[in-house]
Structure 1
Amino acid sequence: MSDRMKKNFFKRLARRYVKGNISDKQKSLLEAYFDYGQSRDYNAPAEEDREGRILDRVNLLISSRENPPRSFIPYYWAAAALLVICMAALLTFKLGKSSPQPVSLLAVITKKGEKKKVVLPDGSVVIVNSESELHYSGNFDGPERKVDLVGEAYFDVVHDVRKPFIVHSKKMDIRVLGTLFNVRSYLGETTEASLIRGAIQIFLPASNKALVTLKPNEKFVLGSGVMLTPSKQLVSRGRDFIVTAPRPELASTPPRDIEWIHNRLSFDDQGFREVAVLLERWYNVTITIDNPNLLKYRFTGTFNDTGLIDILDALKTSQDFNYRKEGERINIY
């Protein structure tokens, strides 16, 4: 059967459908014709051709009403129902063409001795410290702006009361509307959050209730055996965590926790092992401490764009130890 004969045949069936004078077999054949363009189980032609076929079926139905029967009202609803079906098919086709594409996931990964700055889709700015990973979606279309962090990062978050910003790490989540804060969450180390401006809430995994709400200049430290450093005063203590604030005489000094974003390396009453880890990340070296007695040493200080050897020499003036440098390896004894 030629295309023209097929077209005339289905036109006649459509007219009989509107008049109500159609057999069940003919009705099934006509409905199968109308459903043809909606099927996705065949090798579909170009989208423009599919859209044209659906529009042709709508025009076919309208043309079938050029000579309406005397008993018009009962068949009007049949025609209207069929028209709705066709328009629904066209709408489905249109929506299918404009369906959103899967959102891409982005990552910022830094190596030892490296820092990176990134602007998120909402305009928030993040500085990612050495040996860290930040993962986030290519847009923030959902009810939350969520990022995943391993390592350390400094956040300057754009305020949006309708869409909270969530920082997810292995041991805690931070919820914020808009603020300035630092998160430290390296694997195998204490997890910390330091608030500079605004307010943030700390949640433990699988908990819907905030553990604490930090105020500006407060610091949250999660980990067993957490110690209070001399520069801090205790705000609150819980199971495996403490909240601290600077002592009054130090309240006006810049927080040591964010010195790194200004290329300043800072120690706040930290043990030799902690200091060694910081130096490894900062200068991309490997440090071994051969004498376990040296691990009891603690250091406080800030170094502004200083070389590794100069820092080691400065630390030697406060504690008794020696070191040997072989390429990218440092042995402390």
Structure 2
Amino acid sequence: MERKPLKPVAGKSSDKKRSAFLEGLITKYFDRRSDSDNADVAEGTAFDKVHVYDKVLQGIREKENKIRRRVYILRVAASILMIFSLASVLYLKKNEIENWLSPVKMVETRAAKGQTLLVKLEDGSRIWLNSDSKISYPEHFNNEKREISLTGEAYFEVVHLEKKPFVVESGAVKTVVLGTTFNIRAYPGNRKVEVTVLSGKVAVITPDRMKEISNTVYVTPNRRVTYATDGLQAVTAPVKAKESISWKEGKMLFSNTPIVQAIEEVERKYNVRLSCSDRIRECTITTTADLNNEGLDKVLKVMATTVNGTVSYENGAYHLDGKGCE
């Protein structure tokens, strides 16, 4: 009986090779059946090779169609997954993309030594900058948050916006609030960041370099969190919060303040150079005198009295010396 030739199956080269291979196997099978076919004809039970051949081809084509459908479904699924992944990335990076397409104009405000400044933001919040401090912020806040960068010291009165947190970055420390009043002291030379809360509640996020994670501390009124920039954990303590913003009213208040820190404050407020001898470098200063908007001479006199010493002036700089701490 004449065997119909195997029609080529449309598809890629790999599909053609597979079909050719199967055709070879079927042909060998029919050849082996030749002798038995003659015997079957004699007995009236001839083997219908054409029918079997067509059945095999039909099975092969059905199998290949299933494979093609699976491949098609996988391709569609991969395309959908790719679209969703791209959409997720675009959503997460939408602020960066917006900034790239339409760059945000940044504003920087600086208070020079011997100066304090009041800055009013577009949302109604107010910031008082202490001497030798600066802030930078976008001209217009985005729809998600109000973000500001601070170097130095500032007092914040933040307008409450429930869906738009107010974020202050000061070095490695982030202070996050919705609406409250607080003071941040983050002068680069102090090696620490202090956040003091007067009203409301703030979240202070600090890095933990030992564990390579971030820690969040919640600070309430009349408490202060101090983070040492050497990577130690943040420490909270009760304080008289209003004393931390005495500088806003032009006052100088020292309460068990290290003399080195007091000297830095005097230098910033009066824009002068002031140093001290090693003998008094470890002393602290607590003042009871009224230093509200007093002149430099009175402030230096009070400091000298505290350390049983004197103040001298030479080559454009003041120097504080004394017998030491009592």
Structure 1 length-normalised TM: 0.60
What does 1:252-267 correspond to in 2, within 5 Å? 255-267=242-254
What does 1:114-263 correspond to in 2, within 5 Å? 114-189=115-190, 190-205=192-207, 210-223=215-228, 239-246=232-239, 255-263=242-250
Corresponding residue of 1:329 = 317
Structure 2 unmatched ranges of 5 or more? 1-100, 322-326
The answer on whether the counterparts of 2:227 and 2:235 sit within 8 Å (CA) in structure 1 is yes
1:104 maps to 2:105: yes
1:286 maps to 2:265: no
Instruction: Output the CA distance in 1 between the equivalents of 2:267 and 2:185.
Output: 16
The answer on whether the counterparts of 1:156 and 1:180 sit within 8 Å (CA) in structure 2 is yes
Q: By how many angstroms is 1:316 displaced?
A: 2.5
The answer on whether the counterparts of 2:304 and 2:320 sit within 8 Å (CA) in structure 1 is no
Instruction: Output the CA distance in 2 between the equivalents of 1:102 and 1:273.
Output: 42
User: Which amino acid in structure 1 is aligned with residue 273 of structure 2?
Assistant: T
Corresponding residue of 2:263 = 276
User: Which amino acid in structure 1 is aligned with residue 165 of structure 2?
Assistant: P
Distance 1:142 1:171, change over 3 A: same
Instruction: Output the CA distance in 2 between the equivalents of 1:208 and 1:176.
Output: 21
The answer on whether the counterparts of 1:136 and 1:146 sit within 8 Å (CA) in structure 2 is yes
Q: State, as a whole percentage, how many aligned pairs show the same letter.
A: 28
User: Which amino acid in structure 2 is aligned with residue 126 of structure 1?
Assistant: I
Match of 2:300 among 306, 312, 322: 312
Instruction: Output the CA distance in 1 between the equivalents of 2:246 and 2:185.
Output: 13
Cα deviations across residues 273-328 of structure 1 (Å, max 9, x unaligned)? 11111100010001122x20111221112621111110111223332111112474
Moved more, 210-219 or 166-175: 210-219
Instruction: Output the CA distance in 2 between the equivalents of 1:134 and 1:120.
Output: 12
Instruction: Output the CA distance in 2 between the equivalents of 1:202 and 1:257.
Output: 17
User: Which amino acid in structure 1 is aligned with residue 142 of structure 2?
Assistant: D
Instruction: Output the CA distance in 2 between the equivalents of 1:283 and 1:138.
Output: 31
Give 1 or 2 for the bigger CA radius of gyration.
2
Please list every run of at least 4 consecutive aligned residues from structure 1 whose deviation after the TM superposition is greater than 6 angstroms.
Answer: none
Instruction: Output the CA distance in 2 between the equivalents of 1:182 and 1:245.
Output: 14
Provide the secondary structure at the position in 2 that maps to 1:304.
coil
Instruction: Output the CA distance in 2 between the equivalents of 1:183 and 1:215.
Output: 14
Instruction: Output the CA distance in 1 between the equivalents of 2:177 and 2:161.
Output: 9
Cα deviations across residues 140-188 of structure 1 (Å, max 9, x unaligned)? 1231100000000000000001000000011200000000000011102
Instruction: Output the CA distance in 1 between the equivalents of 2:216 and 2:228.
Output: 14
Structure 2 length-normalised TM: 0.62
Distance 1:323 1:197, change over 3 A: same
The answer on whether the counterparts of 1:201 and 1:210 sit within 8 Å (CA) in structure 2 is no
Provide the secondary structure at the position in 1 that maps to 2:144.
coil
Count of matched residue positions in the alignment of Structure 1 and Structure 2: 216
The answer on whether the counterparts of 1:256 and 1:267 sit within 8 Å (CA) in structure 2 is no
Moved more, 317-326 or 260-269: 317-326
Instruction: Output the CA distance in 2 between the equivalents of 1:170 and 1:215.
Output: 22
User: Which amino acid in structure 2 is aligned with residue 149 of structure 1?
Assistant: L
Match of 1:298 among 255, 280, 284: 284
User: Which amino acid in structure 2 is aligned with residue 318 of structure 1?
Assistant: T
Provide the secondary structure at the position in 1 that maps to 2:302.
helix
Cα deviations across residues 20-67 of structure 1 (Å, max 9, x unaligned)? xxxxxxxxxxxxxxxxxxxxxxxxxxxxxxxxxxxxxxxxxxxxxxxx
Structure 1 unmatched ranges of 5 or more? 1-99, 226-237
The answer on whether the counterparts of 1:171 and 1:191 sit within 8 Å (CA) in structure 2 is no
Distance 1:202 1:208, change over 3 A: farther
